[in-house]
Structure 1
Amino acid sequence: MIDIIIQNYEKTKKEILVDYDKDSFFENWQENETWEVSFDVMKTKNNSYTFDLIDYESSILWDGQEFIIKAMTSSAQGQSVSKSVIATHVYYTIQDGYQYDEVTGKKSINELLSHIFKAGSRGFSWEVIDGNKKFITVEQENFGNANYLKLIEEILSDYDAVVIPDNRHLTFIPRSEFGMKTEEQIRYKYNTDSVKFDIDTYSLKTQIKGIGKKKEDETYYFSPITYTSPESEKWGIRVQDPVEDERYTISGNMSERLKKDLQDYPSISGTVTLKWTINPKKGDLVPFIYEPLNIKTYIQIVGIKCFPMIPNKPPEVTLSNTRKTMTAILAMLAKKGVI
């Protein structure tokens, strides 16, 4: 069993945590969204020193990675004092950096990352691995004037990339090269009896307007443009909130942004409940077989919530909710009359 080590904010003291609620401990990773650990602990004679180290901005060192306590609830009942902790991976502290300068033009992912960190590394290092040359240059307008995390999220979207943090070292790879194809299948009546697809049309829209930058004389560089999806023939006109972004001075770039931002398809996510522990890795493609709905395909793991302190408790797995994969599954569900 891996030890949990608590380190104070000043990084002058650290100690192994004991007497915490092992059943409460979990690690949760969701691709490009979150990576956190959480647990509950009550102060005892054995852990009183370590308990006092648990505070906002203190570090939790777990499985070779550093997490920073960002949310904590302290409570007391009689003589008993306890804390409930949520600690986010140190990668997310990158949002504390800000790049004010902007760049425009055709840029590679390396050029944009260099631009971000030109304002200061904040202790982070980075590399781009693209052996198959999947990354292309992308036309950028006024890239900058935002915190580091927001700018990296723009890069992940524009270049279809995934960032893999290892403490403060960031590796960027094409999404298509993330994860391995494995034969450790998820199959109905084998290691799961429960498959759940959440499908809703709350956010389904078919039309969106884009408004770019104004000149000094208060006229626009280009007239506001409206993009209407071909899906409007099926769903009618449903208007999404407009994009108002002063980074855009070229209408063609705004058009591409609108096509990317418009959610003209139902929101779909899939989860499975497993019967026993498997060892999926982040981004792995696993055979997903569910005979009642005639689903047989490789599908990517984009989220894992695991409970490493509870022997043999299976992880909760989130399956790919990319448009390509889930649209195909939606078609299968419709064919079966499920929706």
Structure 2
Amino acid sequence: MIDIIIQNYEKTKREILVEYDKDSFFENWQENETWEVSFNVTKTDLNSTAFDLVDYESSVIFNGQEFVIKQMTTSAEGKAVSKSVTATHIYYTIQDGRQYNTVTGVRSIQQLLTHVFSAGNRGFSWEVIDPNSKFLTVEQENFGNANYLKLIEEILSDYDAVVIPDNKRLTFYPRAEYGEKVEEQIRYKYNTDSVKFDIDTYSLKTQIKGFGKKKEDGTYYFTPITYTSPESDKWGIRIQDPVEDERYTVVGNMTERLKIDLQDYPAISGSVTLKWRITPKKGDYVPFIYEPLNIRTYIQVVGLKTYPALPNKPPEITLSNTKKTMTSILANLAKKGVI
């Protein structure tokens, strides 16, 4: 039995929700995109107090994390009144803050986060975990004048970062340092029959050129550079669209950017539904074996949909090895009707 606690917007009342539809309850996390819980509940004599607390902007407390009800449908059939609820993690309320001031120049990820929250932390705190100094400094131009969520989205993209919220505590990791390799494999016909994957080589490239900032006299701070992947020995020279970014004035920073941007292996992304539970965590790299396509590789967990009230129902896992620009958080939330 899992506990779902409903708390009113004023945070003056809390009740455990009972007699909800356990088949409907799920938790869905997609890296840098969404984290939400959803469930259906019908009013009964036993849950009437908690049921009445289920309302827009009320909180759902699950597994120690706070989610805010942003979408709800109320329906009635005879005397039975039901609610269908989607609650988004408290992290996404960060969009309610705004930094009007802007900064320009070379900045570290720490400096940008300090700038974002200098307009008021709204109860949030943050830390950057970067033991191997993967985060580079990046030239910024007029960074600011947007809501906090939009600015954090820019940071995630510019610094190739991942943010993991723990309620209002935000931890930022370099993508290269995030997640662990686990040995609990996902294997076709072993623990999954349901595989939906997009595997292509259309975007496979082995060479890319980078253009940085120009001086006032029209010359570059550094000569445009070309990075060629070792994979070119196998695939030949396949040229990717160049990076043209005036934030870069240091050749080493541009080189690292080119290595990150170059998609020098086949793109694999998709989802699997397992036959039984395995326990990968967010960001873990799991062995994925799919004999029909001769795939044997580690692929990162970038999404988890679990059914905590149904202990025998396995999770749905989204996997990807694709280097790509972060999906727009705001666009995703807008599609969901959250903003």
Q: What TM bracket, shorter-length normalisation?
A: 0.7 to 0.9
Q: 1:180 to 1:234 in 2, by over 3 A?
A: closer
Q: What TM-score results when the alignment is normalised by the length of structure 1?
A: 0.77
Q: Which amino acid aligns with 1:194?
A: S
Give the Cα–Cα distance (whole angstroms) in 2 for the partners of residues 45 and 297 of structure 1: 53
Q: Which amino acid aligns with 2:45?
A: K
The C-alpha deviation readout for 1:215-273, integer Å capped at 9, x for no partner, is xxxxxxxxxxxxxxxxxx999x9xxxxx9xxxx9x4979xx8xx99999x998631112
Any stretches of 5+ residues in structure 2 without a counterpart? 204-236, 325-339
Q: Which amino acid aligns with 2:294?
A: N
Give the Cα–Cα distance (whole angstroms) in 2 for the partners of residues 306 and 299 of structure 1: 19
Partner of 1:15 in structure 2? Answer: 15
Partner of 1:169 in structure 2? Answer: 169
Partner of 2:155 in structure 1? Answer: 155
Give the Cα–Cα distance (whole angstroms) in 1 for the partners of residues 37 and 247 of structure 2: 44
Contact persistence 2:268–2:320 (CA under 8 A)? no
Partner of 1:226 in structure 2? Answer: none
Give the Cα–Cα distance (whole angstroms) in 2 for the partners of residues 261 and 290 of structure 1: 27
The C-alpha deviation readout for 1:99-119, integer Å capped at 9, x for no partner, is 010001110000000000000
Partner of 1:32 in structure 2? Answer: 32
Q: CA deviation at 1:323?
A: 3.0
Give the Cα–Cα distance (whole angstroms) in 1 for the partners of residues 247 and 137 of structure 2: 19
Give the Cα–Cα distance (whole angstroms) in 1 for the partners of residues 135 and 269 of structure 2: 27
Contact persistence 2:299–2:321 (CA under 8 A)? no
Taking only the aligned residue pairs, the percentage that are identical comes to 75
Partner of 2:212 in structure 1? Answer: none
Partner of 1:89 in structure 2? Answer: 89
Contact persistence 2:138–2:247 (CA under 8 A)? no
Q: Tell me the secondary structure at the aligned position of residue 82 of structure 1.
A: strand
The C-alpha deviation readout for 1:191-238, integer Å capped at 9, x for no partner, is 11232114699x9xxxxxxxxxxxxxxxxxxxxxxxxxxxxx999x9x
Matches within 5 A, 1:1-339: 1-198=1-198, 250=246, 269-323=269-323
Give the Cα–Cα distance (whole angstroms) in 2 for the partners of residues 74 and 33 of structure 1: 27
Q: Which amino acid aligns with 2:68?
A: I
The C-alpha deviation readout for 1:100-149, integer Å capped at 9, x for no partner, is 10001110000000000000000000111111111110111110011000
Q: What TM-score results when the alignment is normalised by the length of structure 2?
A: 0.77
Q: Tell me the secondary structure at the aligned position of residue 40 of structure 2.
A: strand
Give the Cα–Cα distance (whole angstroms) in 2 for the partners of residues 30 and 118 of structure 1: 28
Q: CA deviation at 1:32?
A: 0.4
Contact persistence 2:68–2:89 (CA under 8 A)? yes
Contact persistence 2:163–2:170 (CA under 8 A)? yes
Contact persistence 2:192–2:275 (CA under 8 A)? yes
Q: 1:187 to 1:11 in 2, by over 3 A?
A: same
Any stretches of 5+ residues in structure 1 without a counterpart? 204-232, 238-242, 325-339
Give the Cα–Cα distance (whole angstroms) in 1 for the partners of residues 174 and 197 of structure 2: 27
Q: Which amino acid aligns with 1:35?
A: W
Contact persistence 1:270–1:321 (CA under 8 A)? no
Give the Cα–Cα distance (whole angstroms) in 2 for the partners of residues 266 and 295 of structure 1: 11
Give the Cα–Cα distance (whole angstroms) in 2 for the partners of residues 150 and 21 of structure 1: 35
Q: Which amino acid aligns with 1:31?
A: E
Q: Tell me the secondary structure at the aligned position of residue 323 of structure 1.
A: coil
Q: Which amino acid aligns with 1:58?
A: S
Q: Tell me the secondary structure at the aligned position of residue 304 of structure 1.
A: strand
Give the Cα–Cα distance (whole angstroms) in 1 for the partners of residues 38 and 306 of structure 2: 11
Contact persistence 2:261–2:323 (CA under 8 A)? no
Q: Which amino acid aligns with 1:320?
A: S
Give the Cα–Cα distance (whole angstroms) in 2 for the partners of residues 200 and 76 of structure 1: 48
Q: CA deviation at 1:311?
A: 2.2
Q: Tell me the secondary structure at the aligned position of residue 32 of structure 1.
A: coil
Give the Cα–Cα distance (whole angstroms) in 1 for the partners of residues 268 and 131 of structure 2: 32
The C-alpha deviation readout for 1:269-304, integer Å capped at 9, x for no partner, is 311121111111100111111111110001100000
The C-alpha deviation readout for 1:6-26, integer Å capped at 9, x for no partner, is 000000000000010000000
Q: Which amino acid aligns with 2:102?
A: E
Contact persistence 1:185–1:287 (CA under 8 A)? yes
Say which is worse superposed, 270-279 or 2-11, in terms of deviation. Answer: 270-279
Give the Cα–Cα distance (whole angstroms) in 2 for the partners of residues 117 and 111 of structure 1: 10
Contact persistence 1:73–1:85 (CA under 8 A)? yes
Q: 1:251 to 1:15 in 2, by over 3 A?
A: closer
- Deviant stretches of 4+, over 4 Å: 250-253, 259-263, 265-268
Question: Higher relative contact order by CA 8 Å / sep ≥ 6: 1 or 2?
Answer: 2
Give the Cα–Cα distance (whole angstroms) in 1 for the partners of residues 170 and 323 of structure 2: 26
Q: Which amino acid aligns with 2:7?
A: Q
